[in-house]
């Protein structure tokens, strides 16, 4: 599907009061549309072109469009009504508008002939409503102008009897500046549904809000931009950057890491004082028995000073003597000695928060060559929430949290094998975030994750996800460690963890880096990780 745009603007001629910003507005719109977020192939008039050249170039572009394409035509400059008809003033326009200006009717006719399924004419000029016969408070039926409902739209900076505004304090025409902000600096504010795309509906809501806010606080009012036409299906000004399947990498502990569609973050290096940019990834599956066994055999990790040699996890199992009597946690329970828990492909259980941290330290210290390979840690709860629900602020309503996975392993007696068939995988490509095992999560006030990077930790771990024991239609998948009897030292038979990974942005392919840079930042993670922590290096 092609994305094409024709963008032109003129400050006018000596026959009219010259504008200050129209030509610059056209340049800014062209830059926004041709940038990686929108991905349009943009054509501009050649220097010295007259209105006949404009018609020829526009008609040529229109004739090349195919049904599956998107086409946008943008004009910035003077709009003049003459004998009820709207003309666009060009560099060489004289008072003889009929022969030297560009009739808007020619643009409307060209757009009508365009085969593209999605087409948008943007008129950033005075009296723009004259293009479709709109008068203040009045309208003309779509059929009269032969504008079909197949996403053939006209966006106008003003009504037929209104004047568009150039504003010195923002350095441009109101409509152009706000469109560029919506596609650039304020994209994530304009993207109301947070799907990393900007629809025409979201753009109009953004423009109306900006106009209302401006008129509330400024004596020089601006007209509220208007949209004419009817939509058939979605119309996005931005390109689809999702690229289908999520991008996956393999970490040194053989975890499959799924890159999240969130903006990279900066982490300060204490060796040289410079920050490094990292993409954020989450393990597709919880850490398995096989992975945890390699960790114990390689590291010699001991859960307590009393241990003389490492062994498998030990904790407590949930025991219920009768269906009508409340159950209790009872131990010792050694899951690797129980056939219902010891399959290498099942999530490891009976691990505490410190056990999970020790595993991450082992990956960082022994499996990575340097911080240029990445940084592994326990998943911060804000990352877990986003990976599961697509937001840092999930609902506590059962119908909402169960939407985080089409299927979940719950109301069972033992954990399931990790989901290699994608039957419990959510739309972000991550499995078993709900059900199977509760997962330890850090608050991510920070963690010392490598000897050359320091991120300060706050000791308030949480758990997420629910487990095979729970009925997730009744039990919230959110739990603070302080609600457990032994807090972060708890080792229950339904407690596991998964890792998350900070991947150096420079190590990723350019198309992936571009997509990630355009994504939304996670407010909670940015707040905690981008606080530079000064001091000496320490260890876990």
Count: domains in the chain: 2
Same domain, 22 and 131: yes
- 205 and 338 in a single domain? The answer is no
- Please report the pLDDT score of residue 212 as a whole number: 95
Q: Do 402 and 286 reside in the same domain of the chain?
A: yes
Residue ending a domain, among 199, 228, 257, is 228
332-341, 379-388, 437-446, 530-539: lowest mean pLDDT where? 530-539
* pLDDT score recorded for residue 392: 77
> How does pLDDT run across 367-425, given as a tens digit for each residue?
886 656 788 889 988 899 989 988 777 777 776 777 656 689 999 999 999 999 888 98
DSSP 442-480: B--S----BTTB--PPPS--EEES--TTS-TTTS-SEEE
* 264 and 363 co-located in one domain: yes
Strands 226-228 and 152-156 turn out to be antiparallel
End-to-end CA distance of the chain: 52
DSSP string, 25-92: HHHHHHHHHHSTTT--EEE-PPTT--HHHHHHHHHHHHHH--TT-EEEEEEES-EEEETTEEEE--TT
Q: Which domain holds residue 217?
A: 3-228
Task: Please report, for the domain that includes residue 258, its CATH number.
Answer: 3.90.1580
Which pLDDT belongs to residue 421?
86
- Give CA–CA dist 303/207, Å, rounded: 58
How much is the average pLDDT of 233-250? 78
**196 and 294 fall within a common domain:** no
- CA-angle at 112, arms to 187 and 21, nearest 5°: 45
Do 290 and 198 fall into the same domain? no
Per-residue confidence (pLDDT) for residue 443, from 0 to 100: 76
| Domain membership flag for residue 348 | yes
State the DSSP H helix or E strand holding residue 517, giving kind and residue range, or none if neither. helix 510-517
Q: Which of 241, 119, 266 is nearest to 511 (CA)?
A: 241
Identify whether 325 is part of a domain. Answer: no
pLDDT tens digits, one per residue of 258-294: 999 888 887 766 555 567 788 999 999 999 999 999 9
pLDDT for res 448:
43
Residue pLDDT, tens place only, 477-518: 999 999 999 999 999 999 999 999 989 998 898 888 888 888
Question: Are residue 191 and residue 261 in the same domain, yes or no?
Answer: no
**Residue 509 located in a structural domain:** yes
The tens digit of pLDDT for each residue in 118-157 reads: 999 999 999 998 887 644 333 334 344 444 445 789 999 9
Final residue belonging to a domain, choices 195, 228, 261: 228
Judged against a pLDDT cut of 90, whether residue 342 lies above it is answered with: yes
State mean pLDDT over 451-480.
Answer: 79
For residues 52-75, average pLDDT: 95
- Confidence at residue 532, expressed as pLDDT on a 0 to 100 scale: 33
308 in any annotated domain: no
pLDDT tier for residue 329 given thresholds of 50, 70 and 90: very high
Are 335 and 222 in a shared domain?
A: no
Quick one: 218 and 256 in the same domain?
no
- Structural domain contains residue 267: yes
Q: Is residue 80 very low, low, confident or very high in pLDDT (cuts 50, 70, 90)?
A: very high
Q: Residue 457 domain-assigned?
A: yes
pLDDT band (50, 70, 90) for residue 452:
very low
| Residues 170 and 261 grouped into a single domain | no
User: What confidence score (pLDDT) does residue 536 get?
Assistant: 30
As a whole number, the mean pLDDT across the chain is 85
- List 491's β-bridge partners, or say none: none
> Quick one: pLDDT band at residue 254, thresholds 50, 70, 90?
very high
Distance CA 41, CA 43 (A): 7
Strand partners, 267: 276
Tell me, yes or no, whether 416 lies in a domain.
yes
pLDDT reading at 451 higher than 90: no
Of the listed ranges 237-251, 342-356, 502-516, the least confidently predicted one is: 237-251
Alpha carbons 87 and 94: distance in angstroms, whole number: 12
Residue 318 lies in a domain: no
**Tell me: the pLDDT tens digits for 182-198?**
999 899 889 988 778 89
Listed residues 164, 197, 228: the one ending a domain: 228
pLDDT, tens digit, 9 for 90 and up, residues 33-62: 999 889 999 999 998 999 999 999 999 999
Q: Domain of 35: which CATH number?
A: 3.40.50.1460
Q: 215 with 272, same domain?
A: no
CA distances from 1 to 46, 66, 452, 513, 518 (A): 26, 8, 46, 22, 21
Question: For residue 468, what pLDDT is reported?
Answer: 95
- Is residue 89 over pLDDT 90? yes
What integer pLDDT is reported at residue 301 of this predicted model? 87
Same domain, 507 and 398: yes
């Amino acid at each position: 599907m092609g994305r094409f745009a024709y963008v032109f603007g003129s400050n006018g001629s000596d026959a009219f009061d010259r504008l200050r910003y129209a030509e610059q507005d056209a340049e800014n719109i062209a830059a926004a549309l041709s940038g990686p977020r929108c991905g349009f192939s943009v054509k501009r008039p050649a220097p010295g072109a007259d209105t006949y050249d404009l018609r020829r170039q526009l008609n040529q572009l229109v004739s090349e469009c195919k049904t599956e394409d998107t086409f946008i035509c943008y004009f910035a400059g003077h709009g003049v009504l003459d004998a009820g008809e709207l003309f666009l003033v060009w560099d060489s326009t004289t008072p003889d508008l009929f022969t030297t200006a560009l009739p808007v009717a020619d643009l409307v006719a060209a757009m009508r002939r365009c085969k593209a399924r999605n087409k948008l004419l943007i008129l950033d000029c005075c009296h723009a409503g004259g293009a479709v016969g709109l008068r203040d408070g009045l309208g003309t039926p779509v059929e009269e102008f032969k504008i079909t409902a197949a996403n053939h739209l006209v966006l106008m900076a003003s009504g037929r009897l209104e004047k568009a505004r150039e504003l010195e304090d923002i350095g441009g025409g109101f409509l152009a500046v706000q469109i560029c902000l919506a596609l650039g600096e304020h994209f994530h504010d304009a993207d109301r549904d947070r799907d990393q795309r900007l629809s025409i509906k979201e753009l109009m809501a953004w423009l109306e809000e900006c106009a209302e806010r401006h008129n509330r606080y400024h004596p020089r009012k601006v007209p509220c931009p208007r949209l004419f036409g009817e939509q058939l299906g979605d119309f996005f000004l931005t390109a689809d950057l999702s690229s289908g399947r999520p991008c996956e990498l393999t970490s040194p502990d053989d975890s499959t890491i799924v890159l999240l569609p969130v903006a990279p973050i900066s982490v300060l290096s204490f060796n040289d004082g410079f920050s490094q940019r990292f993409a954020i990834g989450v393990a597709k599956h919880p850490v398995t028995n096989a992975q945890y066994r390699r960790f114990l055999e390689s590291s010699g990790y001991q859960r307590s000073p009393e241990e003389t040699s490492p062994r498998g996890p030990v904790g407590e199992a949930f025991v219920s003597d009768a269906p009508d009597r409340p159950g209790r946690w009872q131990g010792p329970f050694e899951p690797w000695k129980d056939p219902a828990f010891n399959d290498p492909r099942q999530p490891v259980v009976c691990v505490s928060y410190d056990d999970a941290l020790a595993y991450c330290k082992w990956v960082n210290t022994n499996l990575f060559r340097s911080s240029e390979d990445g940084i592994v840690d326990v998943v911060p709860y804000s990352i877990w929430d986003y990976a599961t629900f697509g937001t840092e602020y999930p609902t506590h309503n059962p119908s909402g949290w169960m939407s985080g996975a089409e299927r979940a392993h719950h109301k069972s007696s033992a954990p399931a094998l990790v989901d290699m068939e994608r039957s419990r995988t959510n739309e972000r490509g991550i499995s078993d975030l709900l059900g199977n095992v509760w997962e330890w999560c850090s608050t991510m006030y920070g963690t010392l994750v490598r000897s050359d990077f320091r991120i300060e930790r706050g000791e308030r771990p949480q758990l997420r996800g629910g487990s095979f024991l729970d009925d997730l239609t009744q039990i919230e998948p959110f739990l603070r460690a302080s609600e457990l009897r032994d807090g972060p030292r708890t080792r229950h038979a339904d407690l596991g963890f998964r890792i998350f990974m900070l991947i150096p942005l420079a190590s990723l392919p350019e198309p992936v880096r571009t997509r990630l840079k355009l994504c939304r930042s996670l407010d909670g993670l940015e707040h905690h990780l981008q606080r530079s922590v000064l001091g000496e290096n320490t260890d876990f």
